[in-house]
């Protein structure tokens, strides 16, 4: 399953606000070489690694378990970490579930546009406005567990993260703004991003560029994931004030 490109910041990450408390992410230790980070990003890590075991199993079933042999190590790692995610998701639901359910949601701003046409740049400019909130890369990777893990896991994993995006050399970090579409993917919602993960079934996933051909409860699933993610963000503000 090749990793799709993930749109991140086009501005200095240190100047971008987060929905959570400021976290002093450590610099990578000397032993975490660029070669090591590149190897991990190509063979183990993926944009789906925040999925719970249930969401991961459902995605595999929908795509007929069509994983080619070169990507079996990544799929195995994904399967293992999904169990970890499920455990922390249950803890998070027990700890913050009522607060998330009761959190008021302000109307979100939707940015519509084609890839590579400046929507990410606009997103990051808006994220600089102190009156607005923007989710971070970590929060969109782990939408079901960031309330309980954001204080610890980024500190442990930051040194293993690529320092720059390989396709445009923009700086990476868990604290930079990122688009909520990735959070919805990790929550098991339908998304066109899955065409990059399962390209032989692109016809299935590209339907969700517009949802005009969505069937059954697909629209309801997308809305449910979006509202849950937004509620978690506002619950986080309540937790830290």
Polymer length in residues for the chain:
241
Task: Quote the CA–CA distance of 220 and 26 in Å, as a whole number.
Answer: 40
The domain in which residue 21 lies consists of: 13-240
Contact predicate 238/21, CB 8 Å: no
Q: Tell me, yes or no, whether 7 lies in a domain.
A: no
Q: Tell me, yes or no, whether 5 lies in a domain.
A: no
- 42: its two tokens: 């190509």
Q: Tell me, yes or no, whether 6 lies in a domain.
A: no
Q: Tell me, yes or no, whether 2 lies in a domain.
A: no
What is the tally of structural domains in the chain? 1
Contact predicate 87/233, CB 8 Å: no
- Identify the three-state secondary structure at position 177: strand
Report yes or no on whether pTM surpasses 0.75: yes
Helix (H) or strand (E) holding 95: helix 72-102
Q: Tell me, yes or no, whether 8 lies in a domain.
A: no
Task: Quote the CA–CA distance of 138 and 136 in Å, as a whole number.
Answer: 5
Q: Tell me, yes or no, whether 40 lies in a domain.
A: yes
- pLDDT tens track of the chain, all 241 residues? 444 443 322 223 333 334 443 444 445 444 458 888 889 998 999 999 999 999 999 999 999 999 999 999 999 999 999 999 999 999 999 999 999 999 999 889 988 888 788 888 898 899 999 888 899 999 999 999 999 999 999 988 888 988 887 776 777 899 999 989 999 999 999 999 999 999 999 999 999 999 999 998 999 999 999 999 999 988 876 543 2
Q: Tell me, yes or no, whether 70 lies in a domain.
A: yes
- Identify the three-state secondary structure at position 145: coil
Task: Quote the CA–CA distance of 188 and 185 in Å, as a whole number.
Answer: 5
Contact predicate 177/127, CB 8 Å: yes
């Amino acid at each position: 399953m090749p990793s799709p490109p993930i749109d991140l910041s086009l501005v200095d990450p240190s100047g971008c606000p987060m929905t959570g408390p400021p976290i002093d992410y450590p610099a990578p230790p000397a032993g975490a070489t660029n070669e090591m980070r590149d190897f991990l990003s190509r063979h183990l890590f993926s944009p789906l690694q925040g999925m719970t075991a249930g969401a991961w199993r459902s995605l595999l079933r929908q795509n007929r378990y069509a994983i080619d042999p070169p990507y079996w190590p990544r799929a195995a790692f994904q399967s293992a970490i999904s169990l970890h995610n499920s455990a922390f998701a249950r803890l998070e639901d027990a700890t913050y579930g009522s607060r998330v359910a009761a959190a008021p949601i302000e109307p979100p701003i939707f940015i519509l546009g084609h890839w590579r046409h400046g929507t990410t740049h606009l997103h990051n400019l808006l994220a600089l406005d102190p009156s607005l909130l923007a989710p971070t890369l970590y929060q969109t990777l782990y939408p079901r567990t960031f309330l309980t893990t954001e204080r610890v896991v980024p500190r442990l994993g930051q040194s293993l993260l690529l320092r720059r995006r390989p396709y445009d050399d923009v700086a990476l970090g868990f604290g930079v703004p990122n688009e909520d579409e990735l959070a919805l993917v990790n929550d098991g919602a339908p998304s066109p991003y899955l065409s990059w993960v399962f390209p032989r079934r692109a016809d299935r996933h590209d339907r969700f560029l517009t949802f005009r051909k969505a069937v059954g409860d697909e629209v309801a699933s997308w809305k449910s994931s979006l509202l849950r993610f937004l509620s978690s963000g506002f619950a986080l503000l309540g937790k830290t004030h």
